[in-house]
A and B are shown apart, each in its own frame.
Chain A
Amino acid sequence: MFKAATIASKEAYSYDMGIRLGEALIEKLGQLPGGCWLFCAPGNGLKELINGIGDAAATQNLIGCTGAAELSSAGFSTRSAVLGGIASDQIEFEVVSVKNIGQDSEQAGKKLAGLFSSRVRNIQLFSDGITGNGCALLRGINSIMEEQIPITGGTAGDSGGFNKSWQFAGKKLLSDAAVAIGFKGEFRVGTGVQSGWSPVGLPKKVTRSSGNKLFELNNEPALNVFKRFLGKHAEKLPAVGVEYPLGFYSSCGSGDKDDHFLLRATMAVNHEEGSIIFAGDVPEGTMVHLTCGDKTSILEATKKAIRLAVDELEGVKPAIAFFFSCMARKTVLGQRTKEEFGQVNMELGKNIPILGFYSFGEYCRVKSGGPCYFHNESATISVIGI
């Protein structure tokens, strides 16, 4: 038996609102949920909201975070709260969390992974996108967990304020934390990730970098290189860098020609150093390209990602789809952002519940059975099939 449902609301956050949301979910599900997801914009009364939901749903398995926009079966929304739930006798859930990821994300990842039981077969991860290092967090997790366990998710944001983001685990309202939910039981998972940006121009070598800070390209200050590309538009950095992210080929372990092309979005610039900070690590020695994309290619990519996820199910019926897209895509798509949801709907069918949010960065594997990577500006989807 498997039931899933989503509820969306634009009401102000309060305990009562939480109760109402929770009860509405139970009604839709017809029973108490085994696991709940909450994605919402940051705002006052978050703690009360969570308490309300938790009391109403009578579950500790509540997970979620703040983002730039929300997705539910009702569609694309901003400045809202969406609550989703799964009730099933085939799937059980575990919720774990770890704090202070800003200090040492890798260590935090190891700790987080260690909290899961061995029966967990699928993980969704939501971490602080402002303080945490997604790549490092993944490294920590990957060093403990088996590579075949799919990890999907995204990093929490605050609608582009870059001040503070929130993560929810049970009734805990956390920040600078990583929260994760583990799926145990009988189910299939299909994942897909695509961006829609393509490399342009000649590649350049990262001659000096540190984590997500890029100092030099071809022994030249990175900022100078970017200014050359962007010309007069360089004034708009880092924002314009979101439209033209940096990209490089990851080696997916097999070293084949269809290496996945990872993107990195500009987050900040330092004019004195001539350096640029990205939303993900840019390793030294990597050959990077500037990339270019448009609305059409972005939406095409969304479609492709969904198809990849469904294909991976190999005929097993999708039961619920989790869609984690990027704030950057929202920026580029603008008015057409809701078309992403349209793509998901179209590909999966209107009956399949959809739940997700627009993040600062996405977690997803690039091939079945392969390790999880940290992406920027990508559409990631994970479909549970029963």
Chain B
Amino acid sequence: MMQNNRSQDKKIAELEELLEISERKADILTNLLKEASAEYEQTLEKIRISEANFRAVFEYAPEAIYIVETDTRKFLECNPFMLTWLGYTRDELLSMRVEQILESGDGESIQKNIEKIMSDGFIHIQARRFKKKDGSTVEAEVTGTLLDYQGRSCSAALVRDITQRKKIEELGRYKELFENVSDPVFINDAQGRFLEVNDVACEFFGYTRDQLLKMSLRDLTSPGHLSELTKMKNKKISKGETIQFELNLLTRDGLTIPFEFQGRLIIHKKNSAFLSVARNLSFRKELQRTLIRTERFSAVGEMASGVAHNFNNLLQMIMAGAEVAKSKLLSGKIRDCDEAIRIIVNASHRGADVVRRIKDFTHAGKNNIESGTVFDLNALVSESVELTRPLWKHPSIPRKYQLKVIKGPNCFVKGISSEIYEVLVNLIKNGLEAMHQGGTLIISTYTLDEAVHLAISDTGCGIPEEHVQRIFEPFFTTKGSQSSGLGLSSCYGIIKKFQGDIHVKRLPDQGTEFTVIFPLAKPEETITKAEKILETQIPIRFLMIDDEVNILRSMEMYFEDSEIDITTVSSATEGIRSIHENNFDVILCDFGMDDMNGLEVGREIQKFYLKNRLKKIPFLLYTGLDKQLDAKKLEESGIDRVVNKPTSCEDLLNIIRGVIAGQRKG
């Protein structure tokens, strides 16, 4: 009985224990379940909120959102904005692939992008152009990310239309351009009226902004360039193309400034307009002019050794002639002596010519005469051939070049001879330079159809086809750093200035031919040499002031056989004293003397005449200097005429006679 009880007790105890354990378990599991349940609810709620948020964003976003499957690139979903933005219906878009809405060319990169997202997890912001249903394109920024959608691997993209922003940016860029550029900036409409100008433009041209905005580009254009402007207006400019052109503009003060315009078409306030930046070319043009001048001088420099050689020859002739004359005189052979003296005179004339040619050449361009005078082109051809002789007839290479000149009749041209001289010299030089191994240069002039043609051909290396178009461009050269490339372009400029034209032709066998064409001009009075004035019986009292004793001596010797009663003094002081003490009919005074120069002497004499109420005597200034003397200064110093050294005694005699004759008449 007790054992039964004990075992029953044991069983009860066991059962109680089991019950306790079970209860405990039940409680704990219930608690766990509650917690799990609560968390589940929370998560569900979070998902619901997140879903709702997503939906809200998706539906109402002011930007396009779409989801494409990464494998097929098909649209799986898109938001309403996307549809309105591109103009498709939902059904249409969901049947398309993403590359169908991107501008062509972007197709390959889509695949790359998708691959990139799949490795990185997100796309960085990219600019893309989207195609709308109506065919137009819009610029947009796209950013995206990878996600699982409907059990598929997809990429979701957010698209922002940046057309507006770009416009604003562009405007912002223009604003920057307008405000910060140091050149005038303009926006013009199709008629050339100013829609917008920057401060620099206003300051430069001397108008207020309001004033400029009432004007057009035509109002600023220099009269001479109006045709250029018309040409530019009519030119067709394509979208995105930048064009360049030169135009001379007038400031309010009447100053003409050359400008180089660079511009392109833009959209300004929804209309097509032209934006341009104008660069002042004054400096550049001045630079070009200086370069040309420098070239000219260096051209002279090239000829210097030839010129020196020339002079040496001439000196030789003079020295030899003088010795011969002397010996023939001593031996009484007057005719031979005369012959020798002729040689000396000839040589001296030739020397004078060389100097004059060089002076003319280097001073070309200083002349302010716009239109020029009528001159004989043939004479200019001869001069240029002579000037360039050292280049084609250098003693070291006597037979290298052959030069042929063929002159046609009546080749009269209107222009500034010194400038056209430069053209000729340049063309001759170019021709010679093209014939490294030697060859023949042919210069010919002829008239045809009321025009004068000048053709210069060489048998040289020729100009390659691709360069023919460019040879007249400033700075274009095939001669490397030695040449500024301005020679032919300045020729072109000069020729054009005188309504001429220049063509270049490649000769069939070898070489090049340049043809310059000028309008034919009517010959006017041509430059004449000093007329020979007949001797008169009335003696002329002539004072010569020069510190070069030899010149005085030869003058004395020459004039003693004529009606000129010559007095010579070798200093300015002596000259002035002589004038005070004697009467003269005409005075010739050297410019450069040790004690005073000719101008100062002139002034002194003027004072003397005024003081003593004496009639002014013709006062001639004798000078070998290059400098062009100021007309005003000459007048102030009482200079009636400038006689350039060297002048032959004969010419001087004629000049004196002419002056006296003129006086006696008046």
Q: Name A residues whose Cβ lies closer than 8 Å to a Cβ of B.
A: 200-202, 228-233, 240, 243-244, 290, 292, 294, 334-335
Contacts and interface: CB of A to CB of B under 8 A. Distances in A.
Interface stretch (B28-36, B97-105, B123-131, B481-489): B28-36
Given A202-B39, A229-B28, A233-B24, 12 more contacts: A201-B36, A228-B31, A229-B31, A230-B27, A230-B28, A231-B31, A243-B24, A290-B32, A292-B25, A292-B28, A294-B25, A334-B17
8 contacts: A201-B33, A202-B36, A229-B28, A229-B32, A230-B28, A233-B24, A292-B28, A292-B29
B9 interface: no
A239 to B, nearest CB: 11
Cβ-closest 5 pairs across A and B: A201-B32, A229-B31, A231-B31, A231-B27, A202-B36
Nearest to B33: A201
A200 B29 contact: yes
B336 interface: no
Contacts of A232: 27
Contacts of B473: none
Interface of B: 14, 17, 21, 24-25, 27-29, 31-33, 35-36, 39
Nearest to A232: B27
A184 B27 CA distance: 51
A244 B31 CA distance: 13
A231 B28 contact: yes
**Interface SS of chain A: helix, strand, loop or mixed?**
helix
Contacts of B24: 233, 240, 243
Contacts of A244: 28
Contacts of B28: 229-231, 233, 244, 290, 292
A170 to B, nearest CB: 43
A287 to B, nearest CB: 14
A107 B509 CA distance: 102
A233 B35 contact: no
B35 A201 contact: yes
A213 B328 CA distance: 141
**Interface SS of chain B: helix, strand, loop or mixed?**
helix
Contacts of B29: 200, 292
A334 B10 CA distance: 13
Contacts of A334: 17
A201 to B, nearest CB: 4
A377 to B, nearest CB: 16
A101 to B, nearest CB: 35
A244 B29 CA distance: 10
Contacts of B31: 228-231
Contacts of B17: 334
Contacts of A230: 27-28, 31
Nearest to B17: A334
A200 B32 contact: yes
A335 B14 contact: yes
Contacts of B36: 201-202
A187 B35 CA distance: 51
Contacts of B39: 202
A294 B39 CA distance: 26
B373 to A, nearest CB: 104
A240 B14 CA distance: 18
A231 B28 CA distance: 7
Contacts of B21: 243
Contacts of A294: 25
Contacts of B14: 335
A337 B33 CA distance: 30
A354 B35 CA distance: 44
A244 B28 CA distance: 9
A229 B33 CA distance: 9
A263 to B, nearest CB: 16
Nearest to A225: B35
A243 B36 CA distance: 20
A232 B24 CA distance: 9
A243 B28 CA distance: 11
Nearest to B34: A228
B28 to A, nearest CB: 6
